[in-house]
Structures are given as structure tokens and as C-alpha cells.
Amino acid sequence: MVRSCSPSLLAKKILCPAYVPAPFNKDELLKLQGLHARAALNVIARHMKLGYKLLGVEVAGNGFRIDLLFKLLPSGKIRLVEVKSSKQIREVYKIQAALYHPSSAADEIAVSNRERDELLTSDYIHEILRRAEMTRRLLATNPSIAARTHTPHPDACYTCCNTSCLYLRDRRADMTSKRYAHLRTLDPYLVSEEPTKKNTVTFVNVNLVNVNLSTEPARVTFDFKVKELVKAVRDLMARDKHALDGRLYDMLVMRGIVVSEDEYMRVKRIAHRMGRIVEDRHINGAWIALDNQPSLA
């Protein structure tokens, strides 16, 4: 079951193991298909100008379809292209494209929209495939833990309808947001158990929650990731006496907090500027967690 998970779904599960896809609205789906077709035409025209020959459109794969396949003349190099109608090439799109690699004989993989093409490096693809295997293993062996592992990410949250996610609750507050329009079809009340009272249920009207949607997703995401990084530093210090960069990165990848070294470096830099971690003066490449707990809020 886990092995048959489509690249599109698995890409979001890599970002957040607790991701639950929201149902598609038929009208919205039709609109997205139209935008996707227009973007594909632009991508085809751009590649043909660069000397590529179109080999296939919507090429069937193992439980998925590859948008476009090109062949560069005269070298014969094969390019797989994942087409997106979005103006921004998001991280989740690149993850999805990288997941096609094992099922394709393409020499290179790109994510393209109407304006540009972004090639994926071999190192990036290798890293994503490693993350994919860990995610599959988690989903197969510990599905209950995966369902409770909320690692909010802007590329996943806006199409997720996991009603147990506290981060998603805030996004339901604005019923006028097009980005989170799918949440309007869900129950407008969140039910959560009060940890200090047995058998007590608290109903929270999410329409009363005041949230600035323009900044909240990014703020919540980085605040969460910084806290998880600090926790990982403490765990390594308790276990190994030292929180070395390499071990710290591997732990955050295993826990689903970061997906790349670039993301790891950004989170670590923020944590350092906030005074949450400092470099170990005695060991090169090691970090120490501090006791202060400032927030990005």
C-alpha cells in the first residue's frame, strides 16, 4: 500500500507525514487542468526552440503519469519535465519530480512553469530518494506515529485537511482565503481533548481566532523547526555529549524536520541568531543548546 503511494502524495508526506489530502472541487479541478494545459504548451514551445524534440505527453508510469519527455538533438539526452501552472516553483514540486527518477530512464529532470525551467541536481535527487525511503518505512512500520507527526510546511498545509493538526486550525480562521478554501467544507468547530481534565471536550469556534494569513504559515513553520532543532541538539548532547553538524542534520532529516542541507542551514542560522544555540568553543562543528526560549512571534 505504501509502495503504491503516488509521487504527488509522497512528496507531501515527506514534508509532513501526517498530511491528509483535501478532496478536489470539480470546478477547481477543471480550472487547474486548463491552466496546466496552457503551461504545458508554453513549456513545449520553449524546449523546441532550444533544440529539444518532444517524445511524449502524459507518459504512463507505475501508478502515475509523466507530464513531458524531451530528447535533445543531436546529443540524445532525455529530459523528464514536471509541468506546473504555478508562478512559483515550490519545493514540493521539485520533490515530486525527483521521485520519478527510479521509474524513468531520463538523463535529467526539470520542473517547469510557463516562464522558466529548473533542473534538479543529482545530489538533490539522491537526497530526496533517501528521504522517500525513510518516509515509506515510517508509514509502513509506524502509521500511528506518522499520523501524529505534524511538521507544518507551506507547500503541504494549504491542501491538507488533517483535522487533528493544531497548525491547520489557525488557517481555518479566515474563511475568505482562496489558498485555504477547501477548509470551508470542514466542520467549523474543532474538537480537542483538554489534557488536564478527564473525559472533557472543549469546542473551539475557529472563526473567532485572529490570524494573519500572510505571515502565519511561514512564522509557525520556522518557529516549530527552530524548536525541533534545539530539541535535537539537546538529544545529541545527552546521547553523544556533542551535537556535531553531520549528526544533527541526519537527526532532523530522520525526524522529517528538514528536507535538504539548504533548509537545515537556514533553520540553524535562525536558531543561532535567536540565541537558541551557540557554537561549541572546544569542538569544531558542534553546537550547544541554550536555556532561553524566545519565539519568532
pLDDT-based confidence at 24, cuts 50/70/90? confident
Strands 108-112 vs 77-83: parallel, antiparallel or unpaired: parallel
pLDDT of 1 reads 39
Q: Does some domain include residue 96?
A: yes
Query: Based on the domain organization, do 122 and 102 belong to the same domain?
Result: yes
Per mean pLDDT, which of 28-32, 54-58, 184-188 is the most reliable?
54-58
Report whether pLDDT(180) > 70: no
Cα 240 from chain centre:
30
Please tell me the distance from the alpha carbon of residue 211 to that of residue 246, in angstroms, as a whole number.
37
More confident: 20 or 204: 20
Domain of 108: which CATH number? 3.40.1350.10
Q: Which residues pair with 119 in a beta bridge?
A: 110
Could you give the number of structural domains in the chain?
3
Query: Based on the domain organization, do 114 and 171 belong to the same domain?
Result: no
Mean pLDDT lowest among 23-32, 86-95, 177-186, 193-202: 193-202
pLDDT-based confidence at 265, cuts 50/70/90? confident
Q: Which residues pair with 57 in a beta bridge?
A: 68
Query: Based on the domain organization, do 193 and 248 belong to the same domain?
Result: no
Q: Does some domain include residue 75?
A: yes
User: Which domain does 242 fall in, by range?
Assistant: 216-289
Q: Does some domain include residue 188?
A: yes
Please tell me the distance from the alpha carbon of residue 129 to that of residue 164, in angstroms, as a whole number.
28
Mean pLDDT of 153-161: 84
What pLDDT, in 10s, does the model give residues 90-126?
A: 999 999 999 999 888 899 999 999 999 999 999 999 9
- Percentage, residues of the chain above pLDDT 70: 79
Query: Based on the domain organization, do 239 and 270 belong to the same domain?
Result: yes
What is this structure's pTM? 0.60
Q: Is the dihedral angle over the CA atoms 96, 97, 98, 103 positive or is it negative?
A: positive
pLDDT of 25 reads 75
Report whether pLDDT(193) > 80: no
Query: End-to-end CA distance of the chain, in Å?
Result: 40
CB–CB of 262/128 below 8 Å?
no
Q: Does some domain include residue 11?
A: yes
Crossing angle (nearest 10°) for helices 261-273 and 245-254: 110
Query: Based on the domain organization, do 44 and 110 belong to the same domain?
Result: yes
Q: Does some domain include residue 30?
A: yes
Query: Based on the domain organization, do 63 and 175 belong to the same domain?
Result: no
Task: Classify residue 22 by its DSSP letter.
Answer: P
Mean pLDDT lowest among 6-20, 165-179, 237-251: 165-179
Report whether pLDDT(206) > 90: no
Query: Based on the domain organization, do 282 and 180 belong to the same domain?
Result: no
Mean pLDDT of 145-168: 82
Average pLDDT, the chain: 78
Query: Based on the domain organization, do 22 and 119 belong to the same domain?
Result: yes
CB–CB of 66/59 below 8 Å?
yes
Residue 238 sits at φ, ψ, to 5 deg, of -70, -35
